[in-house]
Amino acid sequence: MLRSSLILVVLALLALPFADLEVTTLSAWSELGEIVLGAVQPDFSVLWKFKSAFLNTVIFAFAGTSLAAFWGFFLALGFRWAPVRLLCAFIRSVHEIFWAFIFLNLVGLNPICGVLSIAIPYSGIFAKVYAEIAQESDRRPLVGIPPRSDGFSSFIYAVLPVVYTDAKLYTGYRFECALRSSTILGFIGLPTIGYHLETAFREGIYNHAWALLYAFYLLIASLKYWARPKLIIPYIVISFTFLSQKISISWANMVRFLTVDIIPWPLRKVDPISGNQEINFSLTEILSWLMNTWHDAGAEGVWNTILLTQIVLATTGIFTLLTFPFACRNLSYRPIKPITRLLLIVYRTTPEYILAYVFILIYGPSMLPAILAITLHNGAILSFLTSNNADLIKLRPDAPKRYFARYTYLVLPQVYGQFLAFLFYRWEIIMRESAILGILGIYTLGFYIDSAIAEDQLDKAILLILITATLNILIDSISQQVRKRLKISTRFVVASNQIFSTQ
């Protein structure tokens, strides 16, 4: 494990000289002062004005999560088959915003765009996690099932009762994630609170932005009060009823998108008289188009995405190791623990996209804001998980009295293996986040995808999204192999009736 950790650090150090860490703003401290002033003087009077955006945020999350849980359940039943695993790996490897880019061209700024952008990648995540929960569950109840019982009956009577609690808790956690996803979809124009957050930050109205953020934190913190299990079904019914009144689909747009827009331009042959398009297959032109796309956007996008990912993977690990002791009962003074855990919850709750947006306002568009944002968000998640595991350790009577000695000789050796498992489990997610932050002006794959869509080159955008998905699948495969070789695994950590997964 030590060698793997050193390799991560060395790779990050090798990547640093190639990373763009330049601060391009001329008044970073002045901008930071304005942001801090807005944080201490929020204008809550604007919240009522944006009530419909909050409603849309919650509705998108409920509808997207319920669809994803439904589809993910059935995909999990067939997860042992390679085609199903590959399908799930692909759909979860494409970020929600990239899915939204695709659906915007199909249905426009329509609620169904936001719902499907959440539901599709979350289906792949649910399938994987549900399958892992079932795989790691107690198999003894299966012994009592009659030998000739079909697989579905065996699952209903012997597996589902065992895995139900963990699956329910994870679904609740994923709904919280959906609220964050629904929020950031507003940054590309969908009518959620992210739309108004982006407007407030862009126009420098920071007291409005912080009021929206504080309201969002309150929404997340109050989940256990308003998102009770007995209310979930009515909420879902209300959500779909509300959405059904706003959905409008243009079948002509869908046909054009599937038959023209995403077809590589060398394949398109337009009749100059009628204007009709036909497919004109030319292997030479296709290869030329692929090479040009790779040369103009793919190569640099992949390179910068990998650079950012490897740097953030190391900084996330370092951040976790430095902060989790302060959130741990056995390693920190009593007043420090609740303050640290509160900060970790804030960083974990704040979408990395919003953190990066704020840091770009301060430092300008470079990899530095992305490194800070992704590190804080993922580091907070891993620090919270690791501190929960550390709290499960029972101290011996002869345990060191000094916290540093207790940390290095007693606690860290016991939690380090699972910490590494969590870190490698996040590798794929960090890669996905690194790609998407290109939309904010950082030269990762997201930058080139956004540029292609802005230039109405949807065929190029789809190709770059496929490259992004392939890269994520590759990273996920490497991560699984590393965890298997190190014989480390992740488990769910349940604390305060809330389940936190590294997915």
Q: DSSP of 111-163, one letter per residue?
A: HHHHHHHHHHHHHHHHHHHHHHHHHTS--GGGGGS-TT--HHHHIIIIIHHHH
CB atoms within 10 A of CB 48: 8
Cβ pair 144, 86 in contact under 8 A: no
Round to whole Å and give the CA distance between 102 and 107: 9
pLDDT at position 491 is 54
> Is pLDDT of 235 > 60?
yes
Give CA angle at 184 (20, 104), nearest 5°.
100
Domains and CATH numbers, the chain: 1-41+285-503 (1.10.3720.10), 45-261 (1.10.3720.10)
The tokens for 410 are 């007693």
CB atoms within 10 A of CB 204: 13
**490 pLDDT tier (thresholds 50, 70, 90):** low
> Is pLDDT of 498 > 50?
no
149 or 125: whose pLDDT is higher? 125
Cβ pair 489, 323 in contact under 8 A: no
If you average pLDDT over every residue of the chain, what do you get? 86
Which residue bears the tokens 């996330």?
A: 316
Round to whole Å and give the CA distance between 321 and 352: 20
**493 pLDDT tier (thresholds 50, 70, 90):** very low
279: part of which helix (H) or strand (E)?
Answer: strand 277-279
> Is pLDDT of 177 > 70?
yes
Cβ pair 52, 223 in contact under 8 A: no
Whole-angstrom CA distances from 36 to 209, 330, 351, 376, 402 are 11, 33, 19, 18, 36
- Give me the mean pLDDT over the 320-332 stretch: 88
How many residues make up the chain in this entry? 503
270: helix, coil or strand?
Answer: strand
- Annotate 480-502 with b (16+ C-beta within 10 A) or e (fewer): eebbeeeebebebbeeeeebbbb
- Give me the mean pLDDT over the 97-119 stretch: 89
pLDDT for 13-64, tens place per residue?
999 999 989 888 877 788 888 899 999 999 998 999 999 999 999 999 999 9
